[in-house]
Amino acid sequence: MAEVLLEMRQITKEFPGVKALDNVNLKVRQGEIHALCGENGAGKSTLMKVLSGVYEYGTYTGDILLEGEACKFKNLKLSEAEGIVIIHQELALIPELSIAENIFLGNERKRFGVIDWDATAKQTKTLLEKVNLDEPHDSLIKHIGVGKQQLVEIAKALAKEVKLLILDEPTASLNETDSDNLLDLLVELKGQGITSIIISHKLNEIRKVADAVTILRDGKTIETFDLSEEDISEDEIIKGMVGRSLTNRYPPSESEVGSEILSIENWNVYHPVQRERQIIFDAQFHVKRGRSLVLLD
């Protein structure tokens, strides 16, 4: 069995009037993809913010051990220095800067105290190859899609010599193709010895790539499944998340479609600050009573 890379013991984190984490325990083995599951508000993101130093040492109780050594992170910079990098659901990239500039922002490659742009470009190309992103290093972030931006974030983590990569709902805003590419990349990185923690509600993705899954509910650790040794169904994971069996996950429903209650045609919207920038073009839709409308960006 692989050695334990990370252990979090009896982590308790309170906010005024709320105990977000209640004696949570987590073990992550070296070189595995470990999924963290739970309903909204279960404490998943809070736990990872404790781990990465967003919630600094002293604002919670419990112990964090990385490779057997106690960690007392006061900020993100200290956790990143130990090889722990978190990628939040809201990507921390600057649209007006290039891919290379974003990858090495705050971690610049310098020569005699000045940014070495040749070294920056060369290392960026190497990192982009590692994450399977075929884009010029000088492309602006605002000119590439969200799926590629996720890959830039991972390349940025690799530039910091990451040991433990944490991804918070990484496929939430991706289409199916980009999601599959991202999951395949995590498996590739696993083959290179990089350990990952993935927070996700998408159980099919978890069962596809995760070696283990830990379930949180109401700020408490419920159970950890070793998916590499056990055949765990989605229903078993859901039962741990919600605390009961769901006999009918998609109950039938009937609705009576009525008259039109909303109609929008030729709707144009401009950016509130950049007035010349149009963000919605001649949109139109109609909603009838008893029907739902889903708007896709």
Tell me if 79 sits within 8 A of 51, measured CB to CB: yes
Can you say whether the dihedral through the CA atoms of 58, 60, 62, 63 is positive or negative?
negative
DSSP string, 183-251: HHHHHHHHHTT-EEEEE-S-HHHHHHH-SEEEEEETTEEEEEEETTTS---HHHHHHHHHSS--S-SS-
| pTM score of the predicted model | 0.78
Over residues 96-139, the pLDDT tens digits come to 999 999 999 988 888 888 999 999 999 999 999 999 999 999 99
Whole-number pLDDT of residue 187: 94
All domains of the chain in start order, with CATH: 4-242 (3.40.50.300), 253-297 (no CATH)
Instruction: Give first-to-last CA distance, the chain, whole Å.
Output: 44
Over residues 217-228, the pLDDT tens digits come to 999 999 999 988
Token pair 């969200």 in the structure block, residue: 146
Mean pLDDT in residue range 179-199: 93
